[in-house]
Every structure is written in structure tokens, then in C-alpha cells.
Amino acid sequence: MCGCCQEWGIQSSQGTLLPSWGLPDPMCSHAFSIFEAAVPKCDPAYLKDYTRLYTVIRNVKLVSQCLTELDKVISSKPHNVSAETNWLRFSSVLSYFERKCWFQEDILLPMGLLPGPIFNYYIRRGYVLKDYGAGVKHGEFTHRLQWHVIMRVITEGFTKPVRKGWDHSPLELYVSLGMKQNDGVWFKLLDLPGDGDFDHPNSLHQWVLNSDLRNLVAAVSKRETKRRETFVRAIYEYIRKEKISVPEKFFTTCRPYRSHEEFKEFESWISDEVRQRFPDELTATTFFETGLGAKADAAYLKKKTTTTSSKGGRTRAYQIPKLAVGPVYSFSTKPIVSEGTADLRAKISRVRLRD
């Protein structure tokens, strides 16, 4: 029985140990087959690496090790970072590593949740999305943290394009998840709703907030606090309008403005209240995820799409780039790249890391 079988409570005495692909403990063929069976139907060329990816993102010890390394880097700017890079912005820190793996330079800003085909359109082209519309519990940076872990493992700490044990580079895997034949794999491996392992963004986000990774916590909680406070204000506006009676504990012992955990309890209560006021689950969920925060979203969009002045000069506004699909904005004036261009970058990413 391998260490992974013991950790996950898998009963096995038959599997043989497999060559390493970066896990802290070796995995046997029996345990691997169980993870492989959980991967949705996909292009067979990617199945083994999707399974490896799944074992990585489900491994708490490995995720913790990778994010610990990221935490160290946040407070220690690498010597080869360009002078133009603002290392004080957490997004810039993540972008530094994403670009080393040849992901697109432009970070896109979707306003609200994107339907599956539109989301896949951008993943297929290698774009990183600023997850503003994903919700407070999900976290704006969570998918980027998942992919930072994946990149760090596959590149063996950003020292080589692809370490032994993997068949594809990080970017090759990323763009493949936007292909039609692999539809549904991203959701299963990286985006399950609710709480669970780190394939549930809500759980990874909460784990980060509760961790002792001081730099990472500061970066993630800063954005989370802004989103949480904005959403709580929107909820209270709805409560006043609908004349809903609020339990006393939300004014005393459990204040949603104060912490992520207290917000979760408050959100659970108001979501039940909302469901009682709508005829079906879909309508209630749609209202809760989009309607409640509509005013705040509109204000955020106006702020991002307005050119502003500062001591350093004028700040360019976000805009919808050429060839964009859906309500997706970019700080850059470049058009969205083609699938062919994305495939060329992915091919290069197999050969070398970017300087």
C-alpha cells in the first residue's frame, strides 16, 4: 500500500509504485486508477496528465508547500523582474510566474459569471481571468493560485519547462481544458461548488485565509474584504427593501462584515430567505448570484472603464478588446488572440521557460 492509499483511506494491496511526478509521497497504480476514473470523458492524449493534475490539487501537503514558496517570493522580489513590474500588487506577482510559463500577458476582467462556452473561449486561448464575478466565498485569486501550484509542480519550481513524469507543459494543459472534447474537465478538477478538497475553490480560498502564510493572507484578504463588505451592503439594502427580520446574532456575535467565516453563516441565512421568495431554485440562485450585487457591479465596471488622472499621469481605462466574446474587459488595446496563436505559444512552452 502506498502513502497516498493510506492518506485517502484507499484499500489496496495490488498496486505497483509509479514514477514520481512531484507528489510528496509515491503513488501506486491502484490509487492512480481511482483518480483517473474520476476524470470526465476527454481526449485520451490528456487523460494521464489530467489525472496527475487532479492528484496535485487534492494533495494538501503539496499545495501547502507550493503556496509557502509563493508566500516567500511575495516579500522578496526576484532580481530579474522588470522595473515596470509593480511587485506590491499581488496580481503582478502571479503574472510574473504565469508569463514564465507563456500564459497570455493580458489579464482579462469578466463582469459577472461567464457561461461555459464563453469561459472556455478564453481558456482555450491561454488567458488568465480576473475572477471578480465568482463571489466572495470563491475568491478572486483562487483559480490563479490553483494554477500557480500546478505550474510550480510541473516546472519543478520554475526551473524547467516540463519535469519528468508529465507529458504536457502547464500552458498546454490550460488551453486543452478549453477544447470542446475536454468540456467539463475544468469544472470537475478545479471548480466544484461548496466545500470539500482544494478542487472546491471555496475551500482553498478559506484555507488560505486561515493559513499562517502572512504575505499571502494579506494579499488575498485585502481583496476579499472589499468584496465581502460590498456584498453585505447590497444584502442589507435588499433586507430593508423586503422588510426581512434579521436574527439578532448578526448584530452581536456573528457580524458578516468582520470575517470570512461569519460572512458564510450570514450568507447561508439570507440565501434561504431569498429561496422562499422565488418560485424555483434557478431563479433564486440567479438573483442571489447576480441580482443582489448588480448595483455594486455597475459601480465597479464604471470605475474600471473610466480614465482617471493621478500624480504619475493618466490611467488608461479597461475596454472590451477586439474579438472578445461576452462582457470581458482588458487593460490592453490588443485584440484577443486566435486558437492558432495560442497553440504556437503552448508549443514553445514545452521547449523553454520565458525569461
Asked whether residue 228 is assigned to any structural domain, the reply reads: yes
Say if residue 14 is in the same domain as residue 133. yes
pLDDT value of position 138: 92
pLDDT value of position 85: 61
Residue range(s) defining the domain that contains residue 247: 221-308
Residues contacting residue 17 through CB under 8 Å, at least 6 positions apart = 2, 26, 27, 28, 29
Asked whether residue 355 is assigned to any structural domain, the reply reads: no
Asked whether residue 316 is assigned to any structural domain, the reply reads: no
Tens place of pLDDT for every residue, the chain, 355 residues? 687 787 777 776 678 999 999 999 999 999 999 999 999 999 999 999 999 999 999 999 999 999 999 999 998 877 676 655 666 689 999 999 999 999 999 999 998 788 999 999 999 999 999 887 778 899 999 999 999 999 999 999 999 999 999 999 999 999 999 999 999 999 999 999 999 999 999 999 999 999 999 999 999 999 899 889 988 998 999 999 999 999 999 999 999 999 999 999 999 999 898 888 887 888 877 777 777 777 778 888 888 888 876 655 547 789 999 999 999 999 898 999 999 999 999 999 999 999 8
Total residues found in the chain within this entry: 355
Say if residue 130 is in the same domain as residue 213. yes
Say if residue 15 is in the same domain as residue 132. yes
Asked whether residue 53 is assigned to any structural domain, the reply reads: yes
Say if residue 302 is in the same domain as residue 333. no
Say if residue 201 is in the same domain as residue 231. no
Say if residue 201 is in the same domain as residue 229. no
pLDDT value of position 87: 62
Say if residue 41 is in the same domain as residue 190. yes
pLDDT value of position 307: 81
Query: Kind of pairing, strands 107-110 and 328-330?
Result: antiparallel
Domain count of the fold of the chain: 2
Long-range CB contacts for residues 74-79, cutoff 8 Å, separation at least 24: 74/215, 74/216, 74/219, 75/215
- Strand-pair partners of 330: 108, 319
Say if residue 180 is in the same domain as residue 81. yes
* Whether 149 contacts 93, CB under 8 Å: no
Q: Phi/psi at 209 (nearest 5 deg)?
A: -60, -30
pLDDT value of position 317: 87
Q: What count of other Cβ atoms lies within 10 Å of the Cβ of residue 133?
A: 20
Identify which of 181, 179, 177, 180 has the alpha carbon closest to the alpha carbon of residue 191: 177
pTM of the entire predicted model: 0.93
Residue 331 CA to residue 267 CA, distance in Å, equals 32
Residue 130 CA to residue 144 CA, distance in Å, equals 9
pLDDT value of position 314: 47
